Amino acid sequence: MLTNPAIEAMMRRKSIRKYTDQMPSDEVIETVVLAGMQAPFASQSFSVLLSRGKKDTDWGAPLEFVICVDSYKLERIMAKRNWKMISNDLMILMFAFQDATLAAQNMVTAAESLGMGSCFIGSAPYLADKIAQEYNLPPRVFPLVKLVMGYPDENPPVRPRYPLNYVLFEDKYPDFDEETITEAMKVMDDGYLAQDYYKAGEFMLKLTGDREETFDFDTYSWTEHISRKWGQWYPSPDRLLEQFRKRGFEIA
């Protein structure tokens, strides 16, 4: 594949879970956020919250960002133009998710290019009311994802990805045969097993229900792990919908 400094920063990115105590400078932080702001957008419906040096930051990172979808600021502008929001909240959220996610990814790439590491924390939506209280958020602002960042105190390998033919489909979506699916699973599982990722971190998820455990850390890898996540977690949307309602978004 072709390469240049921007592509190299993207290709070497991995989640960092150990950080030095060095605090990034104001200039570095501002550069990262400005890079996020340059991402493509539908309506710039996002905001970035920042805490520095908190003792309880995930993985001990010096910086903790919370990337939020933010309809409040847009609606304040609309009010000054004598307009009222009538678009449904599901559509508003879908476009705001895109705005916030693209900005967050730009921030990660910018941080990588400046010698920093980062890690996304995906539990923020389920903690929306708690985060809102901590940051005094107005209605119509919803925490989408946490992003911790700082200078790495570890150098883990880049994690495996699916083969290209399991991601890139030209002209039409393929009718997958079993061989293609098996090969994609093998690439992911063999890659993680070679790195001892789940064994080193003791990351095996416990089974619920009446399934019998047939894996150990010599066989447990990515495809079983991700299957256990989405095959066991959060069968009901009620808890998440309640978090949206508390933040002023109604999804019928």
The identity of residue 200, as a single letter, is A
CA distance 233 to 208: 10
Say if residues 68 and 144 touch (Cβ distance below 8 Å): yes
Instruction: Give the bridge partners for 50, in sequence order.
Output: 65
Residue 54 has pLDDT above 90, yes or no: no
Residue 86 has pLDDT above 90, yes or no: yes
CA distance 142 to 131: 9
- The CATH 3.40.109.10 domain(s) of the chain lie at 5-155
pLDDT band at 98 (very low <50, low <70, confident <90, very high): very high
CA distance 145 to 125: 7
Residue 95 has pLDDT above 90, yes or no: yes
Q: Regarding the domain delimited by 5-155, which CATH topology (the fold level of the hierarchy) does it fall under?
A: NADH Oxidase (3.40.109)
Q: What is the pTM of this model?
A: 0.94
Q: Stretch 62-77: mean pLDDT, rounded?
A: 98
Residue 248 has pLDDT above 90, yes or no: yes
pLDDT tens string 180-208:
999 999 999 999 999 999 999 999 999 99
CA distance 92 to 248: 12
CA distance 252 to 245: 10
Instruction: Quote the pLDDT of residue 252.
Output: 79
Say if residues 95 and 45 touch (Cβ distance below 8 Å): yes
- Class of residue 81 by CB neighbours under 10 A (exposed 0-12, middle 13-18, buried 19+): exposed
**Residue 138, phi then psi, degrees to nearest 5:** -75, 170
pLDDT tens string 219-246:
999 999 999 999 999 999 999 999 999 9
Q: Stretch 135-153: mean pLDDT, rounded?
A: 98
Residue 55 has pLDDT above 90, yes or no: no
Other C-beta atoms lying within 10 Å of the C-beta of residue 126: 14
Please report the DSSP string for 89-147 in residue order. Answer: HHHHHHHHHHHHHHHHHHHHHHHHHTT-EEEEETTGGGGHHHHHHHHTPPTTEEEEEEE
- Give the largest Cα separation in the chain, rounded: 63
Instruction: Quote the pLDDT of residue 16.
Output: 97
Order of strands, sheet of 141-150, starting from the edge strand that comes earlier in the sequence: 46-52, 63-70, 141-150, 117-121
- The encoded tokens of residue 195 equal 């790195």
Q: Which of 106, 132, 154, 82 is nearest to 249 (CA)?
A: 132
Q: What is the mean pLDDT of the chain?
A: 97
Instruction: Quote the pLDDT of residue 8.
Output: 96
Residue 11 has pLDDT above 90, yes or no: yes
pLDDT tens string 27-53:
999 999 999 999 999 999 999 999 999
Q: Which residues contact 175 (CB under 8 A, 6 or more apart)?
A: none
C-alpha 219 chain-centroid distance: 27
